């Protein structure tokens, strides 16, 4: 029986998911830098050390490769580690463990041993942190077979997808958004699980499909508001997970609207928007009335100066312009 939904933040939603899954399953433990006594760089793990003790909420040295690999080994032994990498930027240090071990062990050894682990990491730009701290590496993880990749945009999804991730028998990368931790929304109770591979329509519309995930959902929704004021009804769809990607829902919408814009905070080259657009061309070519638009961060390392940073990150106006471009290309009836 579901407890009643109430409004909490994205941060609290993740905290709840962790707490509930740790209470439910003793094999779940948390590990990462400053997640225990300091309660997390973003305070996501608040109160968990107190409740579960040092055996299950483990502060590590600054050794991303080491403790991520440790998590993989522990998962191979049957535990369910939830590894926090403080931000996605530091995952690059652990990339060999994630890409060469976590994703491949099950396949490479003929399905002998699963790797039931979660790697949580916040990312994204927008706080003037400059180039080394402003990565959206979703595309990098989405490229790797053997990983599952989860990109929650709301508190409800953050909780439901994380709970599913913890119960999943494969390595799941959960990409949280630093810009969303304070965002509030209704969240279900202990049985609130969201299955992977189910996109959700965030706003219905008929004129163009906007596909956006994580923080970009909110940018797309703001753009849709602006478009509505100009008489254009955009449908906003959030895939919620890459690997698996719910292409049916995306393509279904695009076949109805005949136009699509994909919004992604990552870089344009070989990125999420590029990959999703390629899928849609294959699935919807005969239905399209215009080339699929892409909105990405600028093809540069992220600059520090505020005005440059704003210019580099997708803004609602950029999405509006991209949607308008798909409409302008329409052959007049």
Interface with ligand TPP (CB under 6 A), residue total 6
User: Could you give the string, one character per residue 252-291, with x where binding to another protein holds by CB under 8 A and - elsewhere?
Assistant: ----------------xx----------------------
Q: Is 282 a catalytic residue?
A: no
Q: Is 233 a catalytic residue?
A: no
Cβ count near 285 (within 10 Å): 8
Q: Is 308 in the site for another protein (CB under 8 A)?
A: yes
Q: Is the CB of 165 or the CB of 292 nearer to another protein?
A: 292
Residue 53, both tokens: 């003790």
Work out what residue 307 binds among another protein, ligand TPP, none; the CB cut-off runs from 5 to 8 Å by kind. Answer: another protein
Contact segment (CB under 8 A) with another protein among 22-30, 58-66, 179-187, 249-257 equals 58-66
Q: Which of 27, 46, 65, 324 binds another protein (CB under 8 A)?
A: 65
User: Could you give the string, one character per residue 185-224, with x where binding to another protein holds by CB under 8 A and - elsewhere?
Assistant: ----------------------------------------
Q: Is 108 in the site for ligand TPP (CB under 6 A)?
A: no
Between residue 69 and residue 128, which ones bind another protein under the rule CB under 8 A?
Answer: 89-90, 92-93, 127-128
Contacts of 100 (CB under 8 A, 6+ apart): none
Measured CA distances, 120 to 30, 142, 235, 277, 316 (Å)? 10, 14, 29, 27, 27
Q: Is 90 in the site for ligand TPP (CB under 6 A)?
A: yes
Between residue 36 and residue 55, which ones bind another protein under the rule CB under 8 A?
Answer: 37-38, 41
Q: Which of 12, 20, 39, 64 binds ligand TPP (CB under 6 A)?
A: 64
Catalytic, out of 12, 20, 39, 64: 64
Between residue 11 and residue 50, which ones bind ligand TPP under the rule CB under 6 A?
Answer: 33
* Neighbour-count burial of 193, counting CB atoms closer than 10 A to its CB (0-12 exposed, 13-18 middle, 19+ buried): middle
The string of DSSP letters for 239-296 reads --EESS--HHHHHHHHHHHS-EEEE-SS-STT-HHHHHHHHHHHHHGGG-SSPPEEE-
* Residue of minimal Cβ distance to ligand TPP: 90
The pairs formed by 160-163 with CB atoms below 8 angstroms and a separation of 24 or more are 160/17, 160/188, 160/192, 160/193, 160/194, 161/194, 161/196, 161/240, 161/241, 162/14, 162/17, 162/18, 162/21, 162/118, 162/120, 163/17, 163/20, 163/21, 163/192, 163/193, 163/194
Measured CA distances, 115 to 121, 145, 233, 243 (Å)? 18, 13, 44, 16
Contact segment (CB under 8 A) with another protein among 73-81, 219-227, 233-241, 302-310 equals 302-310
Q: Is 247 in the site for another protein (CB under 8 A)?
A: no
- Start-to-end CA span in the chain (Å): 53
Asked if 206 and 255 touch (Cβ cutoff 8 Å), the reply is no
Is the previous residue joined to 9 through a cis bond, with omega within 30 degrees of 0? Answer: no
3-state secondary structure of 47: coil
Contact segment (CB under 6 A) with ligand TPP among 86-94, 161-169, 204-212, 294-302 equals 86-94
Work out what residue 127 binds among another protein, ligand TPP, none; the CB cut-off runs from 5 to 8 Å by kind. Answer: another protein
Q: Is 298 in the site for another protein (CB under 8 A)?
A: yes
Residues designated catalytic: 64, 133
Query: Contact positions toward another protein, by CB under 8 A?
Result: 33-34, 37-38, 41, 59-63, 65-66, 89-90, 92-93, 127-133, 268-269, 296, 298-301, 303-308, 311-312, 318
Query: Contact positions toward ligand TPP, by CB under 6 A?
Result: 33, 62, 64, 86, 90, 93
């Amino acid at each position: 029986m579901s407890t009643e939904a109430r409004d909490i933040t994205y941060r609290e939603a993740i905290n709840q998911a962790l707490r509930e899954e740790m209470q439910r399953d003793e094999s779940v433990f948390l590990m990462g830098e400053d997640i225990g006594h300091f309660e997390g760089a973003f305070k996501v793990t608040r109160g968990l050390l107190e409740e579960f003790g040092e055996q299950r909420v483990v502060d590590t040295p600054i050794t991303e490769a080491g403790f991520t690999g440790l998590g993989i080994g522990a998962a191979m032994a049957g535990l369910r580690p939830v590894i926090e990498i403080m931000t996605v930027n530091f995952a690059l240090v652990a990339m060999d463990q994630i890409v060469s071990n976590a994703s491949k062990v099950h396949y490479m050894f003929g399905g002998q041993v699963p790797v039931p682990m979660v790697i949580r990491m916040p990312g994204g730009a927008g706080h003037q942190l400059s180039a080394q701290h402003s990565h959206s590496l979703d595309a990098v993880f989405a490229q790797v077979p053997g990983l599952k990749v989860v990109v929650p945009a709301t508190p409800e999804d953050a909780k439901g997808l994380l709970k599913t991730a913890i119960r999943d028998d494969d390595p799941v990368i959960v990409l949280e958004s630093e810009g969303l931790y304070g965002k509030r929304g209704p969240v279900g109770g202990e049985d609130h699980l969201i299955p992977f591979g189910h996109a959700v329509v965030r706003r219905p519309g008929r004129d163009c499909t906007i596909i956006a995930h994580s923080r970009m959902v909110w940018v797309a929704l703001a753009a849709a508001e602006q478009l509505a004021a100009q008489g254009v009804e955009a449908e906003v769809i959030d895939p919620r997970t890459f690997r698996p990607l719910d292409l049916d829902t995306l393509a279904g919408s695009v076949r109805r609207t005949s136009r699509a814009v994909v919004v992604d905070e990552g870089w344009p080259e070989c990125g999420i928007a590029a990959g999703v657009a390629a899928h849609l061309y294959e699935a919807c070519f005969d239905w399209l009335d215009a080339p699929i638009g892409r909105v990405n961060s600028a093809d540069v390392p992220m600059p520090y100066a505020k005005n440059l940073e704003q210019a580099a990150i997708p803004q609602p106006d950029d999405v509006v312009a991209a949607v308008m471009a798909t409409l302008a290309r329409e052959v007049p009836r």
